[in-house]
């Protein structure tokens, strides 16, 4: 058994990353200050594995052919937020193939919803926008879907702009696991899937949702907004103004109690 | 006043030759001019068409009110600050902020004067100076800002640096040079730091001096060729703008005043909250842009002009000493009669640029700019109207907001919209004087564009009417026999004829 296995290390893009038993690959990487792109992962909630941004390749192999050439056999693709770290495994994240796929995923999300960054109050603090910049997404590539989405302003303190929903389910998990209210859920299938509110009217204003709920403060994009506070933070002081999203790995690392 | 409808519609358009200038160049947005001529080159119809459609009034509906100042400014890349501030003023009313904190009001004013400075510099040096320095019919290959930079590098350099300074003022107050977020309902989201103030103070005296030079330059050009400058696109018009309680020009806030073409007051100190009773927005079937007029005077006589040429002659005085001295000099040239030659726009525009530079110079010494009390609020309202003097003239924003904080109604009357009738009359005046009976050349057609450029129109800002466009559709067979004719009026009523 090698030293790295004895000390519970795996290799992320050829760099040794220590982990504690039970940690997932992304938890260990973020704790070590190594950023793996993600949208639906949140250190305080059970991993979900739906956005696929954090997909990595595990244990790719290189073999030599009879004519002296070498061929790379890609390892299995896995969501790093749901895959436990194992000693000695070789994980690839920052490789052209995965970066291309992540760019494509971001582009699909951008055209599926109605993301108009120039007038969005989450601009500069939005994970989707931050990832688009970090991954070098220069255009939407796909035709804009122009989905018909609603704005629910029925709640006195919170606005729901469903135009920007990426179906990450963080609000659903926060409301169920932390707030114990089950305010949100997903309904429909395929391209009809959408966020709904747990009220007969379907309106947020008819639920017991509160602006102090965890679910009111966990949205990675500009869906769940605190009313009357838009654009209070000037340019230069927004979350990703000073450093790009991939410079903030430690912010997404597991909180200490859960490590 | 010239007749508002003269040369608007020819009697027999199908028998006339059609000349099209498209796009009108060195203006913001997309427009075209059509001219109908007979065989003897006599002009029968001239129209300035605004062929693009923006529709902001419609898609603002359903958005939260605090988003509007940031959203609506995207309709322009040259004067977004004006829309940012006009919308903010309207939303101040929504949040009950009847009086802003001193810091917020002064930061907004500083932002606005920076905007006035950069926009006027852009228009004069980049867009219009090639016509004025080289001649309307000069070599088109050189009649542009690159030509100016090659022939008069000092003028071009000062123009670029004046604009740059104005944009820097916007950057430190709004966060970005273009499309910032500094102004929010009830105030601003940032004050100036001491370093930012020192940075702007370092250049402001040079900016004031260059602005003075710009006034002298256009004055010299005007007086050297006074017959051309006074008579070109001469459209005697009523004039409207904001003035403060003492009649002094105030670009940021005030009450409405209008004078007729001879300078007599039509109305004065009228709150812009009552603009709906004062003005009517007419529409025509051949343009996406509306045609506002003073309701009490009717569509034929009630049209008016806004912008520098009106503002400088409509007010009793400028708020700063150097600009006021220049205003008096400008008025003395008219010997007590208001000037209406469209080229006089440039002289007055430079007087306003000097005023903006002086005001920035004064404001930068005010410690309120460094304050931390940024927001005010009061009893919530459901309707807000904000009016500001944008670089191109009076800008009206009017919104209604429901109890859930969403916008239910938006109406924008943009400076260029106010000037729709006088712009059309200006191009008709030029067509009559310069084109009638002559073989058309590029230089002659540029005279038409020169007349439009005087107004510094922002065509993309001005086209938002949706569902109000009157239509007249005629179905003819191959022989020209009318089979069916159907019309839709301004209220949307369909009629068979």
The secondary structure of chain B in percent helix, strand, coil, rounded to multiples of 5, reads 45, 20, 35
Q: What is the pTM of this model?
A: 0.91
Which residues of chain A are within 8 Å of residue B405 when distances are taken between CB atoms? 153, 159, 227-228
In chain A, the DSSP E strands lie at 9-12, 15-18, 55-58, 61-64, 70-73, 76-79, 90-92, 151-152, 158-161, 184-187, 194-197, 224-226
Burial profile A146-172: b = 16 or more Cβ within 10 angstroms, e = fewer: eeebebbbbbebbbbbbbbbbbbbbbb
Helix (H) or strand (E) holding A199: none
Which residues of chain A are within 8 Å of residue B180 when distances are taken between CB atoms? 235
Q: Are B419 and B455 in contact (CB under 8 A)?
A: yes
- The domain B56-422 is placed in CATH, from the list 2.60.40.10, 1.10.3720.10, 1.10.645.10, 3.90.1010.10, at 1.10.645.10
Q: How far is CA B214 from CA A113, B120, B161, B281, B360, in A?
A: 49, 11, 13, 36, 17
Alpha-helix residue ranges (DSSP H) falling in chain A: 3-6, 25-31, 96-112, 127-134, 170-173
DSSP string, B297-356: GHHHH--EE-SHHHHHHHSSB-SSHHHHHHHHHHHHHTTTS---BTTHHHHHHHHHHHHH
Residues of chain A with CATH 3.30.70.20: 101-237
Enumerate residue ranges in chain B where pLDDT < 50.
464-467, 469
Which residues of chain A are within 8 Å of residue B404 when distances are taken between CB atoms? 153-154
**How far from the centroid of its chain's Cα atoms is residue A24's Cα?**
15
Strand B304-305, strand B238-243: pairing: parallel
* Burial (CB count <10 Å: 0-12, 13-18, 19+), residue B20: exposed
- CB-CB under 8 Å, B74 with A118: yes
- CB-CB under 8 Å, A121 with B66: yes
Quick: pLDDT tens for B340-392.
999 999 999 999 999 999 999 999 999 999 999 999 999 999 999 999 999 99
Q: What is the CATH number of domain A3-94?
A: 3.10.20.740
Which residues of chain B are within 8 Å of residue A231 when distances are taken between CB atoms? 66-67, 69-70, 181, 184, 189
State whether residue B475 is helix, strand or coil.
strand
State the pLDDT at residue A4: 47
Instruction: Give the HSE-up count for residue B212: Cα atoms under 13 Å, Cβ half-sphere.
Output: 11
Is the domain spanning A101-237 CATH 2.60.120.260? The answer is no
Which pLDDT band holds residue A5 (cuts at 50, 70, 90)? very low
Q: Are A173 and A48 in contact (CB under 8 A)?
A: yes
Q: Are B281 and B413 in contact (CB under 8 A)?
A: yes
State the pLDDT at residue B487: 65
For B496, other C-beta atoms within 10 Å of its C-beta total 7
What number is the ipTM of this complex? 0.91
State the pLDDT at residue B477: 67
Average pLDDT score, chain A: 93
Mutation target among A119, A162, A229 for the B interface, most CBs of B within 10 A: A119
Alpha-helix residue ranges (DSSP H) falling in B122-256: 129-134, 145-151, 153-174, 194-224, 226-231
Instruction: Give residues with Cβ within 8 angstroms of B469, minimum separation 6.
Output: B283, B285, B288, B488
Share of chain A above pLDDT 90, in %: 85
State the pLDDT at residue A258: 46
- CB-CB under 8 Å, B406 with A230: no
Residues of chain B with CATH 1.10.645.10: 56-422
Q: How far is CA B140 from CA A67, B23, B147, in A?
A: 67, 15, 10
Distance from CA of A175 to the nearest CA of B (A): 23
State the pLDDT at residue A259: 37
Mutation target among A121, A203, A235 for the B interface, most CBs of B within 10 A: A235
State whether residue B488 is helix, strand or coil.
strand
Average pLDDT in the A18-39 region? Answer: 96
Q: Which residues on chain A place their C-beta less than 8 Å from a C-beta of chain B?
A: 118-119, 121, 151, 153-154, 159, 225, 227-236
The CA distance from B278 to B193, in Å, is 42
The CA distance from B429 to B495, in Å, is 35
Q: Are A160 and A224 in contact (CB under 8 A)?
A: yes
Mutation target among A162, A234, A242 for the B interface, most CBs of B within 10 A: A234
Residues of chain A with CATH 3.10.20.740: 3-94
Which residues of chain B are within 8 Å of residue A236 when distances are taken between CB atoms? 175
């Amino acid at each position: 058994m090698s030293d790295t296995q004895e000390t519970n290390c795996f290799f992320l893009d050829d760099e040794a990353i220590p982990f504690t038993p039970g940690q997932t690959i992304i938890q260990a990487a973020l704790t070590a200050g190594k950023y793996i792109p993600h949208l639906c992962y949140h250190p305080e909630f059970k991993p979900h594995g739906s956005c696929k941004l954090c997909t990595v390749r595990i244990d790719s192999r290189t073999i030599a052919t009879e004519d002296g050439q070498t061929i790379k056999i890609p390892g299995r693709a896995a969501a790093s937020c749901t895959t436990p770290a194992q000693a000695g495994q070789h994980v690839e994240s920052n490789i052209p193939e995965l970066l291309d796929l992540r760019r494509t995923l971001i582009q699909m999300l951008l055209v599926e919803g109605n993301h108009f960054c120039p007038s969005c109050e989450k601009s500069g603090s939005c994970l989707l926008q931050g990832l688009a910049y970090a991954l070098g997404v220069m255009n939407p590539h796909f035709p804009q879907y122009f989905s018909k989405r609603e704005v629910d302003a029925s709640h006195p303190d919170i606005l729901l702009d469903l135009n920007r929903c990426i179906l990450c389910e963080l609000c659903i998990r926060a409301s169920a696991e932390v707030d114990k209210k089950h305010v949100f859920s997903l309904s429909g299938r395929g391209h009809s899937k959408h966020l709904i509110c747990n009220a007969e009217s379907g309106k947020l204003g008819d639920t017991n949702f509160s602006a102090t709920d965890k679910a009111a403060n966990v949205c990675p994009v500009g869906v769940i907004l605190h009313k009357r506070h838009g654009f209070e933070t000037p340019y230069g002081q927004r979350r990703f103004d000073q450093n790009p999203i991939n410079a903030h790995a430690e912010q997404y690392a597991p909180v200490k109690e859960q490590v | 006043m010239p007749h508002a409808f003269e040369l608007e519609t020819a009697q027999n358009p199908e028998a006339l030759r059609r000349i099209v200038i498209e796009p009108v160049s060195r203006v913001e947005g997309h427009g075209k001019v059509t001219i109908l001529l007979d065989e003897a080159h006599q002009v029968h119809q001239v129209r300035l068409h605004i062929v693009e459609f923006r529709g902001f009034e419609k898609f603002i509906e359903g958005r939260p009110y605090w988003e509007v100042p940031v959203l609506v400014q995207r309709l322009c890349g040259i004067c977004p600050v004006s829309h940012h501030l006009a919308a903010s003023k309207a939303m101040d009313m929504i949040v009950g902020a009847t009086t802003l904190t001193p810091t917020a009001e002064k930061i907004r004013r500083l932002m606005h004067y920076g905007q006035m400075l950069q926009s006027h510099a852009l228009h004069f040096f980049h867009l219009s100076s090639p016509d004025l320095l080289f001649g309307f019919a000069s070599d088109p290959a050189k009649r542009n800002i690159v030509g100016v930079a090659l022939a008069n590098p000092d003028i071009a350099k000062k123009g670029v640096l004046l604009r740059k300074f104005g944009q820097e003022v916007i950057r430190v107050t709004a966060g970005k040079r273009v499309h910032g977020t500094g102004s929010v309902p009830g105030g601003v989201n940032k004050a100036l730091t001491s370093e930012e103030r020192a940075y702007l103070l370092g250049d402001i005296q040079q900016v004031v001096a260059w602005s003075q030079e710009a006034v002298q330059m256009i004055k010299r050009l005007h007086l050297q060729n006074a017959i051309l400058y006074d008579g070109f696109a001469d459209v005697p018009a009523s004039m409207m703008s904001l003035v403060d309680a003492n009649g002094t020009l105030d670009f940021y806030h005030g009450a409405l005043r209008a004078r007729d073409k001879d300078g007599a007051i039509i109305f004065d100190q009228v709150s812009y909250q009552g603009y709906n009773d004062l003005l009517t927005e007419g529409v025509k079937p051949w343009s996406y842009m509306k045609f506002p007029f003073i309701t009490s005077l009717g569509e034929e006589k009630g049209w008016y002009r806004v912008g520098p040429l009106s503002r400088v002659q409509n007010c009793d005085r400028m708020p700063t000493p150097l600009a006021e001295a220049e205003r008096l000099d400008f008025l003395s040239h008219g010997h007590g009669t208001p000037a209406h030659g469209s080229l006089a726009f440039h002289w007055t525009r430079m007087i306003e640029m000097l005023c903006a530079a002086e005001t920035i110079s004064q404001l930068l010494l005010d410690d309120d700019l460094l304050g931390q009390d940024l927001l005010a609020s009061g009893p919530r309202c459901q309707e807000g109207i904000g009016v500001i003097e944008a670089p191109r003239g009076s800008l009206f924003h009017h919104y209604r907001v429901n109890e859930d904080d969403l916008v239910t109604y938006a109406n924008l009357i943009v400076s260029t919209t106010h000037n729709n009738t006088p712009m059309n009359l200006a191009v008709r005046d030029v067509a009559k004087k310069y084109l009638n009976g002559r073989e058309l050349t590029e230089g002659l057609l540029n005279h038409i564009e020169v007349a439009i450029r005087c107004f510094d129109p922002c065509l993309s800002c001005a086209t938002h009417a949706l569902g109000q466009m009157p239509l007249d559709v005629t179905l003819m067979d191959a022989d020209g026999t009318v089979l069916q004719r159907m019309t839709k009026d301004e209220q949307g009523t369909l009629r068979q004829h």
